[in-house]
């Protein structure tokens, strides 16, 4: 297969004058590049309309990406509970951390394939989600469980306030404020 780029040095040589006209098997490069530019412009328009749609939906739409949906019951009467779809990830590819008052879920997956023709493909997927843990929840007692269907449940109970024993609270009497016109007492 010949293309115009490869013929440019050939066209100026003395061999080109002896052989005459050489035809290429490829269409003109300008045609190919103009088609590529049109396709790229269509892709840019699609991406910008998609970004506008996501931004108009707010942060809730970002949490509902395909294959990674989350159902949160944060701050409910029983404590903190979040369910995240992670069926595309193996348990060893997931990590859950508590950072301050946030729960951070990170999933990382690498896939490499080589087919019988020798073609190579590489895919790297990352899932990252963060949730705020309410103040009334015990972040130290956080637990995770993964179902067979690929649902990761992250839970923490409410803080159990210890029952205070009965006690008398003394009443403190503050000294009377000095009267206007009264002489201050000497401490000598």
Q: Is 166 helix (H, G, I), strand (E, B) or coil?
A: coil
Q: In this predicted structure, what is the pLDDT of residue 65?
A: 43
Asked if residue 148 has pLDDT above 70, the reply is yes
The least confident of 88-102, 135-149, 168-182 is: 168-182
Q: Which of 2-16, 134-148, 169-183 has the highest mean pLDDT?
A: 134-148
**Residue 69: which of 26, 105, 119, 19 has the closest Cα?**
105
Residue-level pLDDT at 152: 93
Q: Which of 161, 90, 100 is nearest to 125 (CA)?
A: 90
Predicted pLDDT of residue 104: 93
Q: Which is it for the CA torsion 8, 10, 14, 19, positive or negative?
A: negative
Per-residue tokens: 135: 């103040």
End-to-end CA distance of the chain: 113
Q: How much is the average pLDDT of 80-103? A: 91
Distances (CA, A) of 160 to 57, 98, 139, 150, 165: 38, 19, 12, 31, 15
Q: What 3-state class would DSSP assign to 112?
A: strand
pTM: 0.47
Q: Which residues of 35-68 are buried (b: 16+ CB within 10 A; e: fewer)?
A: eeeeeeeeeeeeeeeeeeeeeeeeeeeeeeeeeb
- What CATH architecture applies to the domain 80-156? Sandwich (2.60)
pLDDT tens digits, one per residue of 45-73: 888 777 777 766 544 444 444 344 445 45
Mean pLDDT, rounded, for 34-54: 80
Phi then psi for residue 148, to 5 deg, are -65, -25
How far is residue 87's CA from residue 107's CA, in Å, rounded to a whole number? Answer: 11
Domain boundaries, the chain: 80-156
Average pLDDT over the chain reads: 76
Q: Reply yes or no on whether the pLDDT at 177 is more than 70.
A: no
């Amino acid at each position: 297969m010949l293309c115009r780029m490869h013929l440019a040095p050939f066209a100026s040589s003395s061999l080109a004058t002896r052989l005459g006209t050489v035809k290429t098997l490829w269409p003109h490069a300008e045609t190919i590049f103009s088609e590529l530019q049109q396709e790229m412009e269509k892709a840019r328009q699609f991406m910008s309309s998609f970004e506008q749609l996501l931004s108009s939906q707010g942060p809730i739409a970002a949490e509902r990406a395909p294959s990674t949906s989350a159902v949160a019951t944060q701050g409910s009467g029983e404590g903190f509970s979040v369910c995240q779809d992670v069926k595309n990830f193996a348990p060893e590819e997931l990590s859950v951390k508590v950072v301050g008052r946030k729960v951070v879920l990170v999933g990382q997956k690498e896939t490499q394939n080589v087919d019988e023709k020798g073609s190579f493909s590489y895919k790297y997927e990352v899932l990252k989600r963060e949730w705020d843990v309410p103040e009334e929840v015990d972040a130290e007692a956080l637990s995770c469980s993964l179902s067979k269907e690929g649902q990761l449940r992250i839970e923490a109970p409410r803080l159990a306030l210890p029952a205070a024993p009965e006690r008398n609270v003394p009443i403190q009497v503050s000294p009377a404020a000095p009267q206007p016109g009264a002489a201050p007492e000497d401490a000598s």
